[in-house]
Structure 1
């Protein structure tokens, strides 16, 4: 399936025919949500006169406003605020744009005793505009808005939650209360949005990680550090092994590099100048300062620089599952999606300028192969070009950008161009994957780099004997194993395909008398590389089955006296239902084939006989 640049984070969910456009795709929704945020702020200040407003922008699916209020908002308060909003909507109050001088705006703000607005005003360029809501309420705003509140549908909005937020996003500033809301044109759109929101909760990887015993984040060890439990570790190993074999087949070699290095390396690479806020502090060892790595790139660069290279050796393709450490603020960490220690599926290609197109195309092919194995086949692709501030010669930038364009064209993938959105060190391709409920996730990136080869004085001997700089390509496909694992878990809702499941088959002995046979079957399965277990709990069959279903095990194999006598099992598949009685040898063959072919479920050679 070809990638699509038009895929949306609000693509209709499976079975749905209702399209939910993002705010950035709909001028009408932009006006509705912007206006609804003002209506909410007006309602809050009517009910809570001591609450001060700060900022209240739209989001892609709704809106929010931040308030400095002495009273913490409760669920009951949200209901009261919503009722007041409906009263305001029904009044059909006009929303009018007024252009004022800076002095008049400041006078209005001081009269209301709104210090946050003074700070906002200081950062606004003239002309200064505000929007009034009737004659009762106003705020600094550039718009746009609906003409009057009667254009807002009181049946198509909801106040969703309250969260903490720091003023200006700085944890050293005052903590505010943020009320999130959503608004749509119709009640049907709101209902669909709520359905998808509930579906997202059901798929939350943090809950599933606990329920399925995959991973945890232990406070005693520190925030943002992941503990992989045996079941999750099995899956990670499967993912890593698949990744390695795919890279070997694609012409890569693997590297293993240190987790720390002398601080001077990070000065040379530029990370101390441009990335220090996201780095942990250095540690003193033998009177030298060492730094935990936030990136793998400088280590690959040093490996390249360990000896002089010839043009005949290029391209060089090196990949590494390299664990890095970055300081993330407490408020932004989120399960596996944002952590402080994570493993990047990093790779770097050192090539000649004329090899760029071919190498980018190889990377796109490998990206498609790997992502497709996990059922991600629809993508949103952006090509980012040279920004105003950048390094490198014009000719090299033009050649590099043309190489990216040509590779995408030959691949047949649609994309959008982000003019000036590239890194200062080179153009790039970013790829978002669409999950089962239409959400888009940033994962893969391909970046050309003219900076590190220059900083580290990388060279190769050209055909004419001169010394030239290689082109360096950074690329990651998963982005990070942790984040991809979280995305994948939510995509499957924890119901993993057979080849990837941490426990593929659970044997359910009906009585103690058949336990010896169950252990024999377990030995055969394990010997064939099938991840299996025996439930020794002694519970009744109904509970044995329920327990297996709760753990989302792909295949449950019931063993009773008849099965033990005939060397068979009675199979129940999560995806295909009751498969009937099957000889153990046939189960082994089907499971081995599913693993080899990375199958979602067992493909039986012939229908099993019904069991009694």
Structure 2
């Protein structure tokens, strides 16, 4: 089945679900109901009633009756005033609002409708005279179309959850109930998808973060402000150290910038006009300065570059800073580590000559590829370009040049890529790395961005070979991106079984009885003297000893539940043979004690 056919099928199911809800709750008021990736949803308002997830089987049962009836989807084009009369007669207040907006300003609202529930429209009409109503059986809805022939041709489906959603995405509007469903052409495809979803639930970083004691949250601290435990802090510091080492290999040097700044910096950079509402504002009690918690680091790094004269011989200048930024995200969009108010970026910026762009981008592409290969995540690249809107700063010729150079760099290193308009930063195009996790989901992770705008806005310059003042090119890169978001992906990708180098606790010694405690001392001496060098250099082995008077079975279960990658089981026979019994997720084996250090270094 083609993507267009799937989309029509899923959109038809949104209508069938709405019809089922209307039969069960006649007072239901309907908002919008689009097809989405893997399924569909509909926003519904029930005055004085609530649909819970316990209601989903009942709705599904009614949907299957409608499917069995095989009602044809029938289209009727009507004058917009007639459609408004229909909506009033059926007390569909949200449809009345949409139709009135459509009548007043066809272009804007028609585009909005097409995005939200009608389907993709390249160019909305400038004036709307007629609209279409679709019916199946006793149900009628406002819709542009994109349906199967009849209700009996909708494949396999299942309703999955109920969530809250503000009408038209505005938190000042009524909150509606959004019912989600998934749908595929065959039952087999649906079953595979549901199995994947069940696996995803078990890998949910919020669950594992709690079970593995990695981070916590507190209502006293605030939503979107995670607190990392000792184990979680080790994890974030190890991956941060790895990112730093990869960049330092290519000549990046560490810098440090304060967490607050005058808002003037962001006004000059252009961030204030674009993201002013997302900034946390800080008021000084000593001066009249208007301050903000920093939401990003690039404007600060421009000021370090500008702090002294630069020559073409100094170029490129490369800075890295792993630091926490702050953004006043909407509370309804916060969840786990995916989206937070305090985000730590492994940020880096290159200031270079135009002739150095190719090499610098290639270095960053190499670093990103090495990092994600080391955690066994397949990468492809999204080349994120500007669209035709006026949301971007800078000369269009510079944009076209930058977009061409990024594409050439990606092609030179042989990365799989696709192009997408409208995903660029406001100051330049970017390379977004899309990583596929262990259960086939794709996540945006690292990014490389070319920027011709900020160096001009800040008046950055260097003296070229001819003695002329020249504006440098700025390249932004974050290999991990937001460390918090990266960790959410990393935790779910591994299911908490981190690679040996990243595990907060790498080794746990488990004793069978107290007679082996002297031998345990020899093991701990070896572990203490072992330094790991790959892929993160100069790391000591992180280990603990469980010498409690408990059964070995209990100790193994507890170590396994904490997903300790290497368990060293020590009993009298190991002492006698001068061996150690190693238990990992993959296998069990015995090795001579003298080989233990080399074994761990090889992992």
TM-score, normalised relative to structure 1: 0.89
Say whether residues 1:191 and 2:162 are aligned partners.
no
* Distance in 1 of aligned mates of 2:130 and 2:578: 82
Contact 2:134 2:143 in 1 (8 A): no
What corresponds to 1:382 in structure 2? 383
Which SS does the other structure have where 1:370 is aligned? helix
CA shift, 1:537, in A, is 2.8
| Structure 2 residues without counterparts, runs of 5 or longer | 102-108, 111-124, 531-539
Say whether residues 1:550 and 2:551 are aligned partners.
no
Match of 1:586 among 580, 588, 595: 595
What corresponds to 1:149 in structure 2? 151
* Cα distance, 1:218–1:519 mapped onto 2, change above 3 Å: farther
What corresponds to 1:605 in structure 2? none
* Distance in 2 of aligned mates of 1:400 and 1:386: 14
Contact 2:382 2:420 in 1 (8 A): no
What corresponds to 1:95 in structure 2? 73
Describe the superposition over 1:2-35 as per-residue Cα deviations: whole angstroms up to 9, x where unpaired.
xxxxxxxxxxxxxxxxxxx9xxx61111011000
* Cα distance, 1:428–1:257 mapped onto 2, change above 3 Å: same
Say whether residues 1:26 and 2:3 are aligned partners.
yes
Contact 2:214 2:232 in 1 (8 A): yes
Match of 1:38 among 10, 15, 18: 15
> Which region of structure 1 is more displaced relative to structure 2, 257-266 or 351-360?
351-360
* Cα distance, 1:419–1:271 mapped onto 2, change above 3 Å: closer
Contact 1:391 1:450 in 2 (8 A): no
Say whether residues 1:518 and 2:520 are aligned partners.
yes
> Which region of structure 1 is more displaced relative to structure 2, 237-246 or 60-69?
237-246
Describe the superposition over 1:492-549 as per-residue Cα deviations: whole angstroms up to 9, x where unpaired.
1101111221111111111123223323422331232221111133211111111111
What corresponds to 1:61 in structure 2? 38
Say whether residues 1:81 and 2:59 are aligned partners.
yes
Which SS does the other structure have where 2:378 is aligned? coil
> Which region of structure 1 is more displaced relative to structure 2, 377-386 or 32-41?
377-386
CA shift, 1:385, in A, is 4.5
Aligned positions of 1:210-289 closer than 5 A: 210-287=210-287, 288-289=289-290
Contact 1:348 1:473 in 2 (8 A): yes
CA shift, 1:291, in A, is 1.0
CA shift, 1:49, in A, is 0.9
CA shift, 1:401, in A, is 2.2
* Cα distance, 1:423–1:511 mapped onto 2, change above 3 Å: closer
Describe the superposition over 1:166-215 as per-residue Cα deviations: whole angstroms up to 9, x where unpaired.
11222222111111101111110110010000010011011111111111
Match of 2:551 among 530, 540, 565: 540
Describe the superposition over 1:393-418 as per-residue Cα deviations: whole angstroms up to 9, x where unpaired.
44433332221121112111232222
Describe the superposition over 1:80-105 as per-residue Cα deviations: whole angstroms up to 9, x where unpaired.
11111111111111112222222111
* Distance in 2 of aligned mates of 1:388 and 1:169: 22
Structure with the bigger RCO (C-alpha within 8 Å, sep 6+) is 1
Which SS does the other structure have where 1:309 is aligned? coil
> Which region of structure 1 is more displaced relative to structure 2, 210-219 or 372-381?
372-381
Say whether residues 1:319 and 2:320 are aligned partners.
yes
* Cα distance, 1:421–1:588 mapped onto 2, change above 3 Å: closer
CA shift, 1:421, in A, is 4.5
* Cα distance, 1:523–1:120 mapped onto 2, change above 3 Å: farther
Which SS does the other structure have where 1:218 is aligned? coil
CA shift, 1:317, in A, is 1.5
* Cα distance, 1:75–1:411 mapped onto 2, change above 3 Å: same
CA shift, 1:283, in A, is 2.4
| Structure 1 residues without counterparts, runs of 5 or longer | 1-20, 600-612
Contact 2:161 2:181 in 1 (8 A): yes
What corresponds to 1:160 in structure 2? 160
Contact 1:555 1:571 in 2 (8 A): yes
Which SS does the other structure have where 1:132 is aligned? strand
What corresponds to 1:112 in structure 2? 90
Match of 1:473 among 472, 475, 485: 475
* Distance in 2 of aligned mates of 1:517 and 1:566: 11
Which SS does the other structure have where 1:225 is aligned? coil
* Distance in 2 of aligned mates of 1:536 and 1:426: 57
* Distance in 1 of aligned mates of 2:407 and 2:158: 43
Contact 1:386 1:424 in 2 (8 A): no
* Cα distance, 1:441–1:453 mapped onto 2, change above 3 Å: same
* Distance in 2 of aligned mates of 1:285 and 1:343: 28
* Distance in 2 of aligned mates of 1:67 and 1:493: 35
* Distance in 1 of aligned mates of 2:241 and 2:185: 48
Describe the superposition over 1:339-376 as per-residue Cα deviations: whole angstroms up to 9, x where unpaired.
11011111111112232222222211111112212212
Which SS does the other structure have where 1:396 is aligned? helix
Contact 1:508 1:558 in 2 (8 A): yes
Contact 1:351 1:472 in 2 (8 A): yes
CA shift, 1:475, in A, is 1.5
What corresponds to 1:47 in structure 2? 24
Which SS does the other structure have where 1:233 is aligned? helix
Which SS does the other structure have where 1:149 is aligned? coil
* Distance in 1 of aligned mates of 2:527 and 2:374: 24
Describe the superposition over 1:366-395 as per-residue Cα deviations: whole angstroms up to 9, x where unpaired.
111122122123324234246443443444
Contact 1:368 1:377 in 2 (8 A): no
* Distance in 2 of aligned mates of 1:199 and 1:110: 46
CA-based RMSD of the aligned residues comes to 1.8
